[in-house]
């Protein structure tokens, strides 16, 4: 009899603990729905300062994950910890921007955004990559690291531009080689083409070219289709810097150069968030005969 009572007692205790655990878990994972179409959960927040949203720039730490918590993008590795969002546009069209507009420094949160909405808003594409094909949401871990005024951000940009020049100079291993590599059009020669007797390229010429672009560390980030045909001088076919280099080349030429960010993806980086802000790129280029 006593054994049956003890068994019943411990069963009741076990059930109570399970119920308590479920209740605590539900509290920890409770999300708030925003009528725009996303869910969020505050992890930590700062009560001491109020957000200043008019014409301000937010420096964010962000990690993008699949529904099963696999990380496919993070601001530290993918953007060199330079993930900035300016809140001077239509906040209704970007859920991440809309959410942080009410947050202040050191606030941390978890956002859940519908997969199709997320890739459209953050990567400017309607195509969902294979790793998220079967997911209904994307998870975003987000932290507001700092909020800058326009004046503060201009000073920050000047520091970024200075560091970019230092990166390029370090690539050449000496100030003398760095200075000697400069072209008046703003790019830097690594390997100049050898002289040939073929005609120089001019506006309106149809040419076939091949190129590859990489970070300074050699990681490939861009490449042309095979036998890529362009009509030289046509706007928006190529990066500005590549057009500048081609203006120095002839048919059959090979070249290797560094393009500073102002001739590639600039102070904001690429729209797909793959090329960080203020990032110089190395390009190898061949003009086929």
Helix (H, G, I), strand (E, B) or coil at 282: strand
* Strand bridging mode 206-214 / 108-114: unpaired
Q: If residue 210 lies in a helix (H) or strand (E), which one and from where to where? A: strand 206-214
Provide the token pair at 249. Answer: 């080349």
**Separation between Cα atoms, residue 144 and residue 139, nearest integer Å:** 16
Q: Helix and strand tally (H, E) in the chain?
A: 7, 13
**Separation between Cα atoms, residue 39 and residue 142, nearest integer Å:** 13
pLDDT of residue 87: 80
**Separation between Cα atoms, residue 276 and residue 77, nearest integer Å:** 10
Mean pLDDT of the chain: 86
Kindly tell me if the per-residue pLDDT of 260 is higher than 70: yes
Class of the CATH domain delimited by 164-288: alpha beta
- pLDDT tens-digit map of 3-52: 454 445 444 444 444 444 444 434 455 899 999 999 999 988 776 665 55
Work out the pLDDT band at 220, boundaries 50, 70, 90: very high
- pLDDT tens-digit map of 42-87: 988 776 665 555 678 999 999 999 999 999 999 988 888 889 988 8
Kindly tell me if the per-residue pLDDT of 139 is higher than 90: yes
pLDDT of residue 50: 57
Q: If residue 224 lies in a helix (H) or strand (E), which one and from where to where? A: none
Kindly tell me if the per-residue pLDDT of 2 is higher than 60: no
Report the DSSP beta bridge partners of residue 64. 73, 140
Going by C-alpha positions, the residue among 63, 136, 167, 52 that lies closest to residue 100 is 52
Is the model's pTM score more than 0.85? no
Q: Which CATH entry fits the domain spanning 31-148: 3.40.720.10, 1.20.1050.10, 3.10.50.40, 3.30.43.10?
A: 3.10.50.40
DSSP letter, residue 191? E
Segments of the chain assigned to CATH 3.10.50.40: 31-148, 164-288
């Amino acid at each position: 009899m006593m054994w049956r009572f003890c068994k019943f007692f411990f069963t009741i205790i076990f059930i109570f603990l399970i119920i308590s655990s479920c209740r605590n878990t539900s509290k920890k994972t409770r999300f708030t729905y925003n009528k725009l179409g996303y869910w969020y959960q505050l992890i930590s927040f700062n009560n001491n300062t109020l957000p200043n949203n008019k014409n301000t720039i937010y420096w964010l730490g962000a990690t993008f994950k699949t529904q099963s918590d696999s990380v496919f993008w993070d601001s530290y590795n993918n953007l060199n910890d330079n993930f900035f969002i300016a809140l001077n546009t239509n906040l209704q069209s970007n859920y991440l921007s809309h959410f942080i507009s009410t947050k202040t420094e050191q606030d941390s949160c978890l956002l859940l955004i519908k997969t199709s909405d997320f890739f459209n808003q953050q990567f400017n594409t309607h195509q969902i990559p294979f790793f998220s094909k079967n997911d209904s949401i994307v998870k975003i871990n987000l932290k507001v690291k700092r909020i800058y005024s326009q004046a503060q951000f201009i000073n920050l940009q000047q520091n970024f531009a200075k560091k970019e020049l230092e990166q390029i100079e370090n690539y050449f291993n000496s100030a003398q080689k760095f200075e000697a590599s400069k072209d008046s059009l703003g790019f830097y020669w690594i390997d100049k083409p050898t002289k040939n007797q073929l005609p120089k390229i001019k506006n309106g010429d149809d040419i076939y070219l091949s190129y590859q672009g990489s970070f300074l560390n050699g990681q490939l980030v861009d490449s042309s289709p095979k036998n890529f045909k362009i009509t030289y001088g046509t706007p928006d076919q190529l990066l500005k810097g590549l057009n500048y280099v081609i203006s120095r080349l002839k048919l059959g030429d090979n070249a290797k150069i560094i393009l500073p960010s102002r001739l590639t993806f600039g102070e904001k980086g690429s729209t797909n968030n793959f090329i960080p802000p203020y990032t110089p790129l190395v390009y190898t280029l061949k003009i086929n005969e």
